[in-house]
Amino acid sequence: MPTPMKSFFLLTLLCCSIITNAQKTIGSIEVLDASMEDYISSNQKIEVLAEGFKWAEGPVWVSELNGVLFTDVPENKVYLWTEKEGLKLFLSPSGMTNHAPHSTEEGANGLTLDSNENLILCQHGNRAVARLKNWSLDPAEFEYLVDHYQGKWLNSPNDLDFDKAGVLYFTDPPYGLKLQDDDPLKELDFNGIYSLSPKGEILLLDRSLERPNGIALSMDEKTVYVGNSFAQNSIIAAFDLKKGALKNKRVFFDGNNLQKTRRGLFDGLKVHSSGTVFATGPGGVLVLDKNGKHLGTIMPGKSTANCGFDAEENYLYLTSTDVLARVKLK
């Protein structure tokens, strides 16, 4: 019996307002340390794969589809890009289905896959983390994994990562609410970092960051990195992960000086198999070694929301304002 993902062949082609252009390139590569060349050559091009989105986010590689899924948050859609067929509309709606009280029409943001290759979505409009049950467009069906903490609606789950035991870690800033912290629909008086067990038990792990956004675990699962998308405290925080709790909060990278001269806030981030962190932030995608040393930046010339590797780490895919782009890795 075919898996649900195989049904993506039934989806319609994307309307012509979004265009694909594998020839166009943008931006440049900044090299600050010689070890940057271990990952990307200074003369490597940033290739535009598709453009015309309102705010592209959440790229995740899906091996079964041999392509990357990503979201257009304001448009409440998920798209699929493959080398063979280019761009297709994959899912609509993606994350606003009137499941929760809401003040915007925003859809899904961050995406990931669980151990069974199910698509897991951070849904702004639904104020939930959900699993996609039905991969067809008419209609999409979601299983809501979590939408409340201590009886109160979550703000708008933003980004997420699983550990090997199936525990989900996710962030919950207020970006999916029109007035953010001042929105009358906001029920929690903080913006938290949470874990969700395979049994559905939610734990608040930290509430100290103003805007916890991108989140990723180190390869050994001993460290959790969180981007703080707050202009007045532009940092990537690191925590020790011990017995399911976050300990020893510290600044992994301080971007406050960069913030003064470069466009963009800390947002999504991914950890390379080498342990190097690729983090979207001021200027584009910052490449940071295990100690937080800034090796260089992938600079597309516009604010960059998130990034993700393919299965073999041959490419880094990035969503940068209105484009899906990629850069070849060594």
Return the sign of the alpha-carbon dihedral for residues 250, 253, 254, 260. negative
Burial class (CB in 10 A: 0-12, 13-18, 19+), 164: exposed
Beta strand 192-196 with 168-172: parallel, antiparallel or unpaired? antiparallel
For domain 4-328, the question of CATH label 3.40.605.10 is answered with no
- Report how far residue 50's alpha carbon sits from residue 56's, in angstroms, rounded to the nearest whole number: 10
* 3-state SS class at 258: helix
The tens-digit pLDDT sequence of the chain (330 residues) is 344 444 443 343 344 345 555 479 999 999 999 999 999 999 999 999 999 999 999 999 999 999 999 999 999 999 999 999 999 999 999 999 999 999 999 999 999 999 999 999 999 999 999 999 976 656 789 999 999 999 999 999 999 999 999 999 999 999 999 999 999 999 999 999 999 999 999 999 999 999 999 999 999 999 999 999 999 999 999 999 999 999 999 999 999 999 999 999 999 999 999 999 999 999 999 999 999 999 999 999 999 999 999 999 999 999 999 999 999 999
Residues 6+ apart with CB under 8 A from 283: 30, 258, 262, 263, 264, 297, 299
pTM: 0.93
Q: Domain limits of the chain? A: 4-328
Contact of 51 with 79, CB cutoff 8 Å = no
Contact of 166 with 159, CB cutoff 8 Å = no
CB atoms within 10 A of CB 61: 18
Query: Comparing C-alpha atoms, which of 109, 90, 104, 86 is closest to residue 170?
Result: 109
> Which DSSP helix (H) or strand (E) runs through 145?
strand 141-146
